[in-house]
Structure 1
Amino acid sequence: MDTQAATPADPSPRMSSEDRREQIVQGALAVFGSKGYVGSTTDDVARAAGISQPYVVRLFGSKENLFLAAMDRALDELLAAFRRGLAETTDARPTANRIGDAYVDLLRVRGLHQTLSHCFLLGGHPVIGPAARRGFATVWRFLRDEAGFDADTARSFLAEGMLINTLIGLRLVDDYGNDPSITELFLACFPTELPEVLEIAPRGNAPW
């Protein structure tokens, strides 16, 4: 989705309400991922989605509901990607490598990783906090029960995922090749996926 080219407009009558909702949620992931919950507005999301702000509010009711929808989508896509990696039995690599690659590939969904990071910083919010805690626990249970990781392996996997989120959220890709420390960090985090990551990671001058 070219968020820079998108302009607010009333949705086409030929587009179904489900298609419009999908367009808005994708825009919400990009905006909330970049600006966080407090720093974002429904108008920002409308511009990213190319849909009028009144329609966004009419469909979701509030920014809080929109953020919850974006969080649910991010968690659903995350778990679906993990399960695809887990089911790839023709791949002889360890489970952690397969689902780790699936996690990195989700960088193609703009804002997904950063939205999850913002979710996990909102524990004090009366509505988002409980939902985010449930989501985090669901990911942990997947790693323990479905992936079959012991507690220490699950902890290490989550910690590496959070490190990747930090690299992406800080848009440190701009410093790759210029700062030796950042270059080394990228090489350590993405030993096989680096060309793909350098291509799709958001840059500092991206609007979201």
Structure 2
Amino acid sequence: MSSETARTADTAVSSRMPAAERRAQILEAARGVFGRRGYHGTTTDQVAKAAGISQPYVVRMFGTKEQLFLEVLHDTLETLLEAFRSAHAASVERGDDDQARGAAIGAAYLDLSENRGFHTLLLQGFVSGAEPAIGAAARAGFLDVYRFLTHEAGFDGPRVSEFLGGGMLFSILLGIEMPTLFDTDTDAAALMEATFGSKCAPIVEAERARRAAEHA
């Protein structure tokens, strides 16, 4: 894309989409790219291409790649906590017991797999702790989740450990692209079914669609 073509495309985007929607569009595209390639493996040009705009436009809106990653991580963690709080509130309103409330919060975590790159972006943030700014944001976000589970949802220590451990397993399996083995390895399929439950089938279908698109 030439610089003139890029400016024309960016102007068109600016004229027909409010700034908040443009920002959300770029964050969504960045979540998918960062989630798949990681912080170090991603460029702002790759994010721009995924969002259908120019790289200078991304830089003008977010600044550096680090600033963009931090905003994506912050947005993802906020979305996670909102989903947890909504599920918990609905469960309390239904009069669920402790076990059912925990299951509702866990289901909300699984439901977020429908957001492209959501869980793998969280994983990328957590494993990038050596980057000072990213590490600080990841630690703060993880503690926010812990505080919700203990202070709002009322989980005790063992339940917190079990919940967080299961969540990390979920993200790790997506991060190492275990769904790619579902059709060829019975153990991989069994592990995924045990981990993802009813969400296993849509996750596998999404992976098949992604691979088909890459080879089209």
Based on CA coordinates, which of the two structures has the bigger radius of gyration? Answer: 2
Query: Which protein has the bigger helix share?
Result: 2
In 1, the alpha carbon distance for the partners of 2:122 and 2:50 equals 19
Range that drifts further, 99-108 or 188-197: 188-197
Contact 1:174–1:203 (CA<8 Å) still a contact in 2? no
- Is 2:133 aligned against 1:127? yes
Q: Secondary structure at the match of 2:128?
A: coil
Mapped to 1, the partners of 2:176 and 2:76 lie a distance apart of 19
Query: Is this contact kept in 1: 2:32–2:118, CA < 8 A?
Result: yes
- Unaligned segments of structure 1, at least 5 residues: 1-7
Residue equivalent to 1:3: none
* Alpha-carbon contact 1:25-1:70 (below 8 Å) kept: yes
Q: Kindly provide the amino acid, as one letter, of the partner of residue 68 in structure 2.
A: L
SS at match of 2:39: helix
For residues 40-119 of structure 1, what are the structure 2 equivalents within 5 Å? Answer: 40-89=42-91, 90=94, 92=96, 94-119=100-125
Q: Which amino acid counterpart does residue 178 of structure 2 have in structure 1?
A: L
Q: Supply the AA of the counterpart residue of 2:36.
A: S
3-state secondary structure, aligned to 1:13: helix
State TM-score, norm by structure 1.
0.89
Whether 1:26 and 2:28 are equivalent positions in the alignment is yes
| Alignment: residue pair count | 200
CA pair 35-167 structure 1, distance change in 2 beyond 3 A? same
Cα deviation digits, residues 120-145 of structure 1 (max 9, x gap) = 11222121111111111111111111
- Structure 1: distance between partners of 2:111 and 2:208: 14
**Offset, 1:193:** 2.9
Are 1:174 and 2:180 matched, yes or no? Answer: yes
Structure 2 unpaired stretches of 5+: 1-5
Determine if the alignment matches structure 1 residue 35 to structure 2 residue 56.
no
Please point out which of 139, 148, 154 is paired with 1:148: 154
| Deviation digits for residues 105-129 of structure 1 (CA, Å, limit 9, x no counterpart) | 1111111111110111122212111
RMSD: 1.9
Are the structure 2 counterparts of residues 91 and 109 from structure 1 closer, same or farther at C-alpha, using a change threshold of 3 Å?
farther
Q: Determine what percentage of the aligned residue pairs are the same residue.
A: 44
Match in the other structure for 1:193: 199
Report the Cα distance in structure 2 between the residues aligned to 1:202 and 1:127, rounded to whole angstroms: 35
